[in-house]
């Protein structure tokens, strides 16, 4: 079934678990993640980055079709939307939610852009997540700007967003250096911020760190890089290299890798058996 991530997160918060949000770029990734969710009876949030699939409207229709057939709650989110046009294309493509990332902008500009989008999205029942502080890319921890709790509270009030992506020490992509998660900051954010909290950069952050973050109040955990890494591991495996049908089995191997990582993320989130 297709549901807004806001509804999935609301239930998760009440019951005390986290919803895995998994990156997909095409139909093969999509099917792999949905199979994992069905097998593990887990709700799932699908993340699509515009850069990974710019034909967001068409892809949205494919996702919708499969999500409606699913027997577990499935949400679909435009991840890291930067442009107004991309967000509107996602809404037209049937996305249940959008994540607007204007975290590199000064506070006032971030608020102004996100607030406008919230107005549009809420008019058609689409949920909005936005980011304050900044979670860096390419594993570069020096890009990080931690979320300031008092600012986060006013940001949520001013924009009207439904979920907040926080920067507490994770990074997108392969880490350069070791992540040092600020759990005290997370605790303070959880106490003060009234909407569900989202953690980006879950890949490579470490199972213990992530489990602790979920237990401490992260309600949506984003994992993308690690899924694609799982696909790559299968392609690099002996089994694939020696498979006489390798060319024909390419996508089957990739699916296997993505499913493995997807299931692992569900286990960390505590979402297995919740759907």
Site residues for Co ion per CB under 5 A: 200, 207
CB 37 within 8 A of CB 262: yes
Q: Tell me whether residue 207 or residue 215 sits nearer to Co ion (CB atom).
A: 207
Q: Tell me whether residue 241 or residue 272 sits nearer to Co ion (CB atom).
A: 272
Return the number of other C-beta atoms located less than 10 Å from residue 76's C-beta.
29
Place of tokens 């089994």: 239
Q: Distance between CA atoms of 127 and 50, rounded to whole angstroms?
A: 17
Smallest gap, in angstroms, from Cβ of residue 123 to Co ion? 25
Q: Tell me whether residue 134 or residue 250 sits nearer to Co ion (CB atom).
A: 134
Smallest gap, in angstroms, from Cβ of residue 213 to Co ion? 13
Smallest gap, in angstroms, from Cβ of residue 231 to Co ion? 16
Q: Distance between CA atoms of 96 and 72, rounded to whole angstroms?
A: 15
Q: Tell me whether residue 200 or residue 274 sits nearer to Co ion (CB atom).
A: 200
Enumerate the active-site residues: 79
Q: Distance between CA atoms of 106 and 272, rounded to whole angstroms?
A: 39
Chain residue whose CB lies nearest Co ion = 200
What are the tokens at 255? 């699916």
* CA 179, 48, 70, 39 torsion-angle sign: negative
């Amino acid at each position: 079934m297709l549901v807004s991530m806001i509804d999935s997160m609301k239930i998760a918060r009440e019951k005390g678990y986290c919803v895995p949000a998994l990156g997909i770029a095409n139909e093969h990734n999509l099917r792999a993640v949905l199979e994992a969710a069905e097998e593990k009876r887990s709700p799932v949030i699908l993340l699509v980055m515009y850069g990974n699939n710019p034909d967001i409207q068409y892809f949205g229709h494919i996702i919708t079709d499969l999500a409606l057939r699913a027997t577990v709650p499935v949400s679909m989110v435009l991840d890291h939307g930067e442009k107004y046009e991309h967000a509107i294309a996602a809404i037209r493509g049937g996305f249940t939610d959008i994540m607007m990332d204007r975290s590199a902008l000064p506070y006032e500009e971030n608020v102004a852009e996100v607030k406008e989008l919230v107005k549009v999205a809420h008019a058609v029942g689409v949920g909005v997540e936005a980011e304050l502080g900044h979670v860096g890319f390419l594993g570069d921890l020096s890009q990080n700007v931690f979320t300031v709790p008092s600012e986060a509270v006013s940001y949520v009030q001013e924009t009207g967003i439904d979920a907040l992506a926080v920067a507490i020490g994770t990074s997108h992509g392969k880490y350069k250096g070791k992540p040092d998660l600020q759990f005290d900051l997370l605790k303070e954010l959880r106490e003060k911020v009234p909407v569900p909290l989202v953690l980006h950069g879950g890949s490579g952050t470490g199972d213990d760190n992530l489990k602790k973050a979920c237990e401490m109040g992260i309600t949506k955990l984003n994992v993308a890089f690690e899924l694609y890494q799982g696909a790559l591991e299968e392609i690099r495996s002996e089994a694939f290299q020696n498979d006489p049908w390798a060319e024909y089995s390419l996508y089957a191997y990739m699916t296997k890798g993505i499913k493995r990582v997807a299931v692992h993320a569900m286990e960390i989130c505590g979402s297995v058996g919740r759907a």
